[in-house]
């Protein structure tokens, strides 16, 4: 029989039959006679199992966890960032155009980021939430504020491109800055266009410390308390009491106006002009309009404003 046809099992059996026991040695079972296997049986020695490449043995963090679900592992790919500024932190959420994820995944990633960040060494540091184009309601904003509070951080301002998010943030009492959406596929115009955003409507009372910024007209159905401020590139219309700071025409448009049902502002600004309210208050408040003239900011009754504006236009010299 050729050698290549002999199986290892038959070789083991043949060796056990030919081996003669020595004197004084008790007979051993057949399967224990050959304590060392023949040379032919040692062709494939057992190899030591090596760990996976790129994973250090005993390391934590880089070690692969087979029990973690795919959803938990995918959270690490959500690019939520926390950047430190001079006086505050910026919590930047990924735009919906770059990454689509559920609110639960986004909130869990914020939790992981706050727990693992080594920058949180000071307490009560204000945080500006950069929400980009993500749509957040009052419940979600409050959840973010609560998780920040657990890390001794305070949500102070919300910067967003969505009108609904701006309204929700202002209703919750946070400062709001609504920015313009940009389309990277469109080329920039040769000359900048002075176009305003659509009006921002808010049905709330602005408390002290709240600031609203908008690249258009701002309409408030409520009061503006002392310590609150509104900065708008367009007009400012307040269906309530104005006792804070209002700045209309922030980009330098002197044609903008500030109107309130009860005008008692801490300060009013139109374009580059600044004025304060009169020391005496009206016995019975009525709607008034603040407008800019070459001599400064003037206040007139809302019923008479159109006549005053027309008289100012008639006084302008013709070119």
Per-residue pLDDT of the chain (319 residues; tens, 9 = 90+): 444 444 444 444 444 444 444 444 455 444 444 445 544 444 445 555 444 443 344 334 333 343 444 444 444 555 788 888 888 899 999 888 776 778 888 898 888 888 876 555 667 889 999 998 899 999 999 999 999 998 889 999 999 988 889 889 988 889 998 887 655 444 444 444 455 688 899 999 999 999 999 989 999 999 999 999 999 999 999 999 999 999 999 999 999 999 999 999 999 999 999 998 776 666 777 899 999 988 899 988 888 887 777 776 666 655 4
Locate tokens 């986004």: which residue? 106
- Structural domains of the chain in order of their starting residue, each with its CATH number: 81-178 (3.30.70.260), 200-315 (2.160.20.70)
């Amino acid at each position: 029989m050729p050698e290549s046809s002999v199986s290892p099992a038959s070789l083991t059996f043949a060796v056990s039959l030919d081996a003669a026991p020595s004197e004084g040695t008790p007979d051993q079972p057949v399967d224990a006679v050959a304590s060392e296997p023949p040379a032919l049986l040692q062709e494939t020695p057992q190899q030591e199992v090596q760990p996976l490449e790129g994973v250090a043995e005993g390391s934590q963090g880089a070690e692969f966890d087979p029990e973690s679900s795919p959803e938990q592992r995918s959270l690490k790919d959500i690019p939520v960032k926390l950047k430190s500024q001079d006086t505050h932190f910026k919590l930047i959420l990924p735009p919906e155009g770059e990454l689509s994820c559920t609110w639960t995944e986004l909130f869990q990633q914020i939790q992981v980021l706050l727990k693992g960040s080594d920058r949180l060494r000071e307490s009560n540091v204000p945080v500006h939430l950069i929400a980009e184009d993500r749509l957040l309601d009052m419940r979600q904003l409050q959840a973010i504020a609560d998780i920040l509070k657990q890390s001794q951080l305070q949500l102070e301002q919300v910067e967003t491109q969505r009108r609904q998010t701006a309204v929700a943030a202002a209703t919750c009492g946070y400062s709001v800055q609504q920015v313009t959406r940009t389309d990277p596929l469109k080329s920039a115009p040769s000359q900048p266009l002075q176009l305003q955003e659509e009006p921002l409507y808010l049905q709330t009372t602005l408390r002290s410390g709240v600031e609203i910024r908008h690249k258009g007209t701002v309409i408030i159905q409520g009061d503006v308390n002392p310590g609150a401020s509104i900065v708008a590139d367009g007009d400012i219309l307040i269906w309530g009491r104005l006792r804070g700071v209002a700045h209309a025409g922030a980009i330098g448009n002197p044609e903008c106006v500030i109107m309130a049902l009860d005008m008692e502002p801490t300060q009013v600004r139109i374009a580059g002009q600044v004025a304060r309210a009169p020391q005496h208050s009206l016995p019975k408040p009525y709607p008034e309009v603040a407008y800019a003239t070459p001599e400064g900011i003037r206040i007139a009754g809302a019923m008479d404003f159109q006549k005053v504006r027309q008289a100012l236009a008639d006084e302008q010299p013709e070119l």
